Amino acid sequence: MQDFLNPNYDWQPLLESVPSLPLTDVLRLDKLGPVLSGNKPLKLAGFKTVLQPSHRALLSFGGVHSNHLHALAYQAKLWQLAAVLVVRGYATQPLSATLKDCCDWDAQLLFVDKKTYAKRYDLAFQTELAERYQALVVPEGGAGQLGEQGCVSLANLARHYDEVWLAVGSGATALGLAQGLSRWQARTQLVAVNAVADQGERQRAFALRMPQSVSWRLIESAQGFGKINSELRALIAHFDAQALPLEPVYTAKLMQAFLAHRPMLPLRRTLLIHTGGLQGRRGFEMAAAPKLG
Ligand SMILES: *Cc1c(COP(=O)(O)O)cnc(C)c1O
């Protein structure tokens, strides 16, 4: 398996330039592998470090288009474990393309209502699930310190740039990257684009958890989580035509914020991290959605 936990991991093979964006490179994590791609396998690599022989399954939480559940179901199969997916939704609705894939990979789906889903951070609920399924419980989105560890090695590439930009959900990828930048004593500024309308929660969490030595800022995305409007659609079509596919939940918002707030002067070399998630495009009925599996 790829050793994302190696702080010297070589990300160069996934690096591309974008002709229409001078001084800007893109780290194409969406090209990491044919199925398992994006930032989620990095985070899962962090959880692998605490797997015990007694664990028979990976268990986690997410919505019906979740990139995290999609990656976890596939990763579990590769690690010869069962996958138990606690899904916010109803079994009576037709399966999303995401969940169909997960079923093809033998994942077990547990549909829960909003009230039960709200207990996903509750330790007693997690322990009960862990015992029932003999599972390693992975937090929603692969968040937490283990997930962050898996993203530290991104700094080995980012440290060579003046700025590194990425989209933020739980914040684990950004926090891991920041820890790496701090270890390298890099001067790179981290610019995080918050895809989730969270009443300032991420800003407060970053203020507490970002390493002192790292300069960072958080830009709030103009659109709500999972919302897509004609501007975002046009932006996606624009970059599709340049062979840089984006999806509406995270990476298109990153690009939208980058185009609006990118550094103009002085000229700064910038790395954009494409965190993947293209499988989720199938949930938005867009032309040219990638085929998977
Ligand atoms: C999950 C996800 C993110 C958010 O990553 P966090 O580590 O939770 O901040 C960003 N982009 C894509 C495509 C994702 O699937």
Kindly report which listed range (25-39, 65-79, 93-107, 263-277) carries the lowest average pLDDT score. 263-277
Residues 6 or more apart from 225 whose CB is under 8 A from it? Answer: 195, 196, 197, 249
Which of 31, 170, 292 for mutating ligand 1's site (highest number of atoms within 8 Å of CB)? Answer: 170
The whole-angstrom separation of Cα 174 and Cα 177 is 5
The whole-angstrom separation of Cα 257 and Cα 280 is 20
Report the separation in Å between the CA atom of 139 and the middle of ligand 1, taken as the mean of its atom positions: 13
DSSP-derived pairing of the beta strands 21-28 and 15-18:
antiparallel
Residue 293 pLDDT greater than 70, yes or no = no
46 close to ligand 1 (CB < 6 Angstrom): no
Determine the average pLDDT of the residues in 34-48: 97
The whole-angstrom separation of Cα 105 and Cα 94 is 18
**What is the tens place of the pLDDT at every residue in 1-23?**
579 999 999 999 999 999 899 89
**What is the tens place of the pLDDT at every residue in 271-283?**
999 999 999 999 8
Report the separation in Å between the CA atom of 275 and the middle of ligand 1, taken as the mean of its atom positions: 6
Residue 290 pLDDT greater than 70, yes or no = no
60 close to ligand 1 (CB < 6 Angstrom): no
Label residue 287 by pLDDT band (50, 70, 90).
very low
The rounded percent of the chain whose pLDDT value lies above 90 is 85
Label residue 288 by pLDDT band (50, 70, 90).
very low
Report the separation in Å between the CA atom of 18 and the middle of ligand 1, taken as the mean of its atom positions: 21
List b or e across 215-249, with b for residues whose CB sees 16 or more CB atoms inside 10 angstroms.
ebebbbbebeeeebeeebeebbeebeeeebbbbbb
Which of 140, 202, 250, 272 for mutating ligand 1's site (highest number of atoms within 8 Å of CB)? Answer: 250
**What is the tens place of the pLDDT at every residue in 177-201?**
999 999 999 999 999 999 998 899 9
Q: What is the pLDDT of residue 1?
A: 52
Q: What are phi and psi of 209, to 5 degrees?
A: -105, -15
What is the edge-to-edge ordering of all strands in the sheet holding 163-168?
Answer: 15-18, 21-28, 270-274, 163-168, 189-194, 216-220
Spatial contact of 135 and 163, defined as CB atoms under 8 Å apart: no
Report the separation in Å between the CA atom of 39 and the middle of ligand 1, taken as the mean of its atom positions: 6
Q: What is the pLDDT of residue 228?
A: 78
**What is the tens place of the pLDDT at every residue in 97-130?**
999 999 999 999 999 999 999 999 999 999 999 9
**What is the tens place of the pLDDT at every residue in 220-259?**
987 766 667 889 999 999 999 999 999 999 999 999 999 9
Q: What is the pLDDT of residue 292?
A: 45
Q: What is the pTM of this model?
A: 0.95
Residue 175 pLDDT greater than 70, yes or no = yes
Which of 47, 67, 201 for mutating ligand 1's site (highest number of atoms within 8 Å of CB)? Answer: 67
3-state DSSP assignment of residue 255 = helix
Q: What is the pLDDT of residue 226?
A: 67
